[in-house]
């Protein structure tokens, strides 16, 4: 019988939480193995926008502070949270960012307003993103092996967009055609990459973050073992000493000297757990995370050894819609509608024909409003996005591109009156989507009056910087409110989608998983969506998922290294002890 492989640290999951934990641990002299159940690495993070919410990051010196961050957060928290864990996040996130920049990862502030602009001490410099990454800096195997961005983050399923390009093209900002043509030239002139793969060598958004992270992780000799799924946690007395994993049906054990970090995503693709924990369960297939990826295996493994849980009733909500795949109409694709729902010349209504939210709010708040309205009226999930020809010309509706790119005649026949509805009048549209014509007519009439005056008397849409960021500057007096008065009229159903789950294993300020008595389970750590979000049921700003994920991966590595005898300095540098140097 062969000896059990042994590492100082085993990381389960290869997204941002796992990658940062691995990078920090190996930088501190510990041996690390990352195991990933999928056949591609990078996790949900690689398919995301790649933004991290890091308050007081000081990447550019400013007057943000810990006190200002807590003024903002404490005015918004809507559920009980672990205050010491929240404080650890606010303290450690800037240190994590400094560590990443110190090893060559190019972080920069994004001019992205916090999601609650009317809250005290809201800002527009707490969201951090990563510059684009040349994927060919990875070897061929790892270039094609990283999980690829969704088609929704590409133009014509092919050309990768960074955040600036996305906004330029989606809002038809001045010069957007030049931006698009530059993307085409960059892609097709890269002949060597086209011979290897159709993938754009230019990694953007979440792929950029993960490309930069894994360049550093792989250069330090860390193995990423894909197609290796967690089966259970291995115990040595009351301590987690390793993991039992499965690869193509073969089970084997791996031993961890100093700790196992669970960083394997949430449970959004497990319908049984959704039914168990969520007030409005929704369907797994409405999730916008990688299909059938995050099924809660880490959560289940932790609960099986007595771990406590927290915040499992909440998801990172985002409105989604589905449409048939272009190349295989028997299969649906999920498309995020995060910003589509708040564009001018449109309104969102429940199945009673009534508005229920400021449609331009953050996507998580939109989802929370869907849940609350469903519990109140039973007429939501799905709701409807209703819009006119002006909207159709300029903006996307989920997977349906603007008519100037995708005219109606190019939309497959099997989409009409199933995925996308069209009519010459509001009354006819109401009949098609089975909503009261009089109620929908009243709602649209109200929206037209709000567009004329520039003031949304019901929900104040377009009254703050966050709303206006996704409006249309050519529309006045309010860039988020345009009349819905130009036929034909359209509607698409909007699902209660998600980016993942906010709750999971309960972990303390040191990222240690705790039991029902709040005692740490020795050797077990958690970061990312398989652990409880430090904000509870709150999404404070862009990057509110990846920011805590990366931070608590960093915190876990520091804690394990300290236990191994490494002196971890408060400024995020470290001194290796003699024993740790020997391990390294």
Look at residues 498, 530, 548 and tell me which one is the last residue of a structural domain: 498
Token pair belonging to 320: 């989604």
**167 pLDDT above the threshold of 80:** no
Same domain, 517 and 486: no
pLDDT score of 201 more than 70 = yes
If pLDDT is split at 50, 70 and 90, which confidence band does 583 have? very low
Choose the weakest-confidence range: 86-95, 178-187, 351-360, 503-512: 178-187
Among 479, 498, 517, the domain boundary falls at: 498
| Residue 562 CA from chain centroid, whole number | 31
pLDDT for res 579? 34
CATH number of the domain at 361, please.
3.90.700.10
- pLDDT reported for residue 225: 98
For residues 483 and 486, give the distance between their C-alpha atoms in angstroms, rounded to a whole number.
8
CA 10 to chain centre: 24
Residue 524 neighbours by CB under 8 Å, 6+ apart: 233, 240, 259, 260, 262, 302, 305, 307, 512, 513
Please choose, from the candidates 512, 516, 500, 13, the residue with its C-alpha nearest in 3D space to the C-alpha of residue 286.
500
**Range with lowest mean pLDDT among 247-256, 454-463, 469-478, 515-524:** 469-478
Cα angle 542-114-279, degrees, rounded to a multiple of 5: 65
* Share of residues in the chain with pLDDT > 70 (%): 96
* Greater model confidence, 179 or 270: 270
DSSP string computed for 362-420: -HHHHHHHHHHHHHHHS--SSEEEEE-HHHHHHS-BTTB--TTTS-GGGS-GGGBTTTB
The Cα–Cα gap between 24 and 561 comes to 9
As a whole number, mean pLDDT of residues 214-238 equals 97
Amino acid 571: pLDDT? 63
Cβ 501 vs Cβ 312: under 8 Å: yes
Return the SS3 of 265: coil
- Measured in residues, the chain has a length of 584
How many structural domains comprise the chain?
A: 2
Residue 438 lies in a domain: yes
Query: What pLDDT is stored for residue 200 in this prediction?
Result: 82
| Residue 307 included in any domain | no
Eight-class DSSP state of 566: -
Please give the mean pLDDT across all residues of the chain. 93
What is the CB neighbour count within 10 angstroms for residue 63? 8
300 belongs to a structural domain: no
The span from the CA of 336 to the CA of 47, in Å, is: 12
Confidence (pLDDT) at 573? 53
Would you state the pLDDT for residue 570? 62
Q: Provide the residue range defining the domain that includes 460.
A: 315-498
How far is C-alpha 303 from the geometric centre of its chain's CA atoms?
24
- Specify whether 468 is located in the same domain as 568: no
Q: What is the pLDDT of residue 320?
A: 96
pLDDT given at position 26: 98
Segment 374-422, tens digit of pLDDT: 999 999 999 999 999 999 999 999 888 899 888 999 999 999 999 999 9
Same domain for 398 and 384: yes
Query: Cβ(229)–Cβ(37) under 8 Å?
Result: yes
Does residue 164 share a domain with residue 35? yes
Interval 528-571: pLDDT, tens: 999 999 999 999 999 999 999 999 999 999 999 999 999 887 66
Same domain, 189 and 136: yes
Mean pLDDT of 306-316: 97
Residues 144 and 30 both lie in one domain = yes
* Residues 38/62, Cβ–Cβ less than 8 Å: no
Kindly state the average pLDDT of the residues 11-40: 98
- Say yes or no to pLDDT of 505 above 70: yes
| Euclidean distance between CA atoms 247 and 508, whole angstroms | 31
| Closest by Cα among 233, 255, 266, 251 to 524 | 233
The whole-number pLDDT of residue 107 equals 96
Note the pLDDT of residue 572: 57
Within-domain flag for 483? yes
pLDDT at 114 over 60: yes
Q: Does residue 301 fall inside a structural domain?
A: no
**How many C-beta neighbours within 10 Å does residue 436 have?**
15
> Last residue of some domain: 465, 498, 531?
498
What pTM, to 2 d.p., does this model score? Answer: 0.92
Q: What is d(CA 471, CA 182) in angstroms, rounded to the nearest whole number?
A: 25
Task: Say yes or no to pLDDT of 202 above 50.
Answer: yes
Q: How many CA atoms lie within 13 A of 142 on its CB side?
A: 23
**Helix and strand tally (H, E) in the chain?**
17, 25
Helices 546-563 and 16-27, axial angle in degrees (round to 10):
30
Same-domain check for residues 355 and 494 = yes
Backbone angles phi, psi at 305, to 5 degrees: -110, 15
Q: What is the pLDDT of residue 8?
A: 98
Is a pLDDT exceeding 50 seen at residue 29?
yes
**544, 533, 31, 454: which is closest to 258 by C-alpha?**
31
CA distance 417 to 493: 11
Q: What average pLDDT does this structure show over 365-382?
A: 98
Please indicate, yes or no, if residue 293 is contained in any of the structural domains: no
Q: SS3 for 457? A: coil
Cα–Cα distance measured from residue 231 to residue 305, given in angstroms and rounded to the nearest whole number = 13
Torsion, CA 382, CA 386, CA 391, CA 392, rounded to 10: 70
Q: Is the pLDDT of residue 234 over 60?
A: yes
Q: What per-residue confidence (pLDDT) applies to 578?
A: 33
Q: Are residues 161 and 193 in the same domain?
A: yes
Q: What is the 3-state secondary structure (H, E, C) of 172-241?
A: CCCCHHHHHHHHHHHHHCCHHHHHHCCCCCEECHHHHHHHHHHHHHHHCCCEEECCCEEEEEEEECCEEE
Residue 426 phi/psi, 5-degree rounding, is -65, -40
Question: Quick one: average pLDDT of 283-287?
Answer: 95
Question: Is residue 270 included in any domain, yes or no?
Answer: no
Mean pLDDT, rounded, for 300-316: 97
C-alpha 160/C-alpha 175 separation (Å) is: 18
Tell me what pLDDT residue 258 has.
98
Q: Are 527 and 391 members of one domain?
A: no
Domain co-membership, 351 together with 257 = no
140 inside domain: yes
For residues 19 and 160, state if they share a domain: yes
Rounded-to-integer distance, Cα 223 and Cα 212, Å: 16
CATH number of the structural domain spanning residue 200? 3.50.50.60
DSSP for residue 68 = H
**What end-to-end distance do the CA atoms of the chain give, in Å?**
27
**Per-residue pLDDT at 575 exceeds 80:** no
Tell me the DSSP string of 492-533. Answer: EEEEEEEEEES-EE-B-TTSEEEBTTS-EEEEEEE-GGGB--
The C-alpha angle 534, 540, 541, rounded to 5 degrees, equals 125
pLDDT one-digit tens code per residue, 120-157: 999 999 999 998 999 899 998 999 999 988 766 777 77
Residues 211 and 189 in one domain: yes
């Amino acid at each position: 019988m062969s000896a059990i492989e042994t590492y100082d640290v085993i990381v389960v999951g290869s997204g941002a939480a796992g990658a940062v934990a691995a990078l920090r641990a190996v930088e501190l002299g510990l041996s690390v193995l990352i195991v990933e159940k999928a056949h591609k690495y990078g996790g949900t993070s690689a398919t995301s926008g790649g933004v991290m919410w890091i308050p007081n990051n000081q990447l550019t010196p400013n007057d943000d502070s810990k006190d200002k961050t807590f003024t903002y957060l404490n005015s918004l928290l809507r559920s009980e949270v672990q205050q010491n864990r929240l404080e650890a996040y606010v303290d450690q996130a800037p240190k994590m960012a400094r560590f990443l920049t110190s090893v060559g990862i190019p972080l920069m502030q994004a001019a992205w307003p916090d999601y609650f602009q009317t809250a005290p001490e809201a800002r527009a410099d707490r969201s951090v993103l990563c510059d684009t990454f040349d994927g060919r800096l990875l070897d061929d195997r790892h270039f094609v092996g990283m999980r690829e961005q969704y088609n929704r983050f590409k133009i014509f399923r092919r050309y990768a967009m960074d955040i600036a390009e996305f906004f330029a093209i989606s809002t038809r900002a001045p010069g957007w055609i030049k931006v698009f043509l530059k993307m085409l030239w960059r892609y097709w002139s890269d002949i060597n990459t086209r011979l290897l793969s159709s993938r754009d060598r230019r990694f953007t958004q979440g792929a950029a973050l993960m490309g930069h992270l894994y360049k550093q992780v792989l250069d330090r000799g860390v193995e990423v073992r894909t197609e290796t799924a967690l089966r259970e946690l291995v115990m040595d007395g009351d301590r987690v000493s390793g993991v039992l994993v499965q690869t193509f049906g073969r089970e084997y054990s791996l031993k961890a000297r100093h700790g196992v970090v669970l960083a394997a995503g949430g449970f959004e693709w497990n319908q049984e757990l959704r039914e168990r924990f969520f007030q409005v369960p929704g369907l797994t297939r409405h999730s916008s995370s990688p299909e059938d990826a995050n099924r809660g295996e880490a959560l289940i493994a932790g609960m099986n050894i007595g771990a406590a849980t927290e915040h499992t009733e909440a998801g990172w909500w985002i409105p989604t819609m589905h449409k048939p795949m272009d190349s295989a109409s028997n299969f649906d694709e999920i498309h995020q509608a995060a910003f589509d729902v708040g564009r001018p010349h449109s309104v969102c209504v429940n199945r009673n024909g009534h508005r229920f939210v400021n449609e331009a709010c953050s996507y998580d708040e939109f989802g929370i409003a869907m849940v609350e309205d469903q519990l109140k009226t039973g007429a939501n999930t799905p709701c409807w996005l209703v819009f006119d020809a002006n909207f159709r010309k300029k903006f996307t509706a989920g997977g349906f591109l603007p008519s100037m790119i995708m005219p109606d005649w190019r939309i497959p026949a099997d989409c009409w009156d199933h995925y996308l509805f069209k009519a010459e009048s509001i009354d006819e549209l109401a009949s098609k989507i089975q909503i009261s014509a009089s109620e929908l007519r009243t709602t649209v009439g109200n929206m037209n009056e709000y567009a004329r005056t520039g003031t949304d008397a019901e929900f104040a849409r377009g009254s703050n910087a966050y709303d206006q960021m996704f409006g249309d500057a050519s529309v006045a007096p309010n860039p988020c409110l345009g009349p819905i008065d130009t036929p034909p009229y359209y509607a698409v159903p909007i699902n209660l989608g998600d980016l993942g789950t906010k709750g999971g294993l309960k972990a303390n300020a040191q990222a240690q998983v705790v039991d029902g008595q709040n005692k740490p389970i020795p050797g077990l750590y958690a970061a990312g969506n398989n652990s409880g979000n430090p904000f509870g049921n709150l999404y404070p700003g862009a990057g509110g998922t990846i920011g805590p994920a990366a931070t608590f991966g960093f915190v876990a590595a520091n804690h394990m290294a300290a236990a191994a005898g490494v002196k971890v300095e408060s400024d995020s540098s470290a001194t290796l002890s003699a024993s740790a140097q020997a391990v390294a």
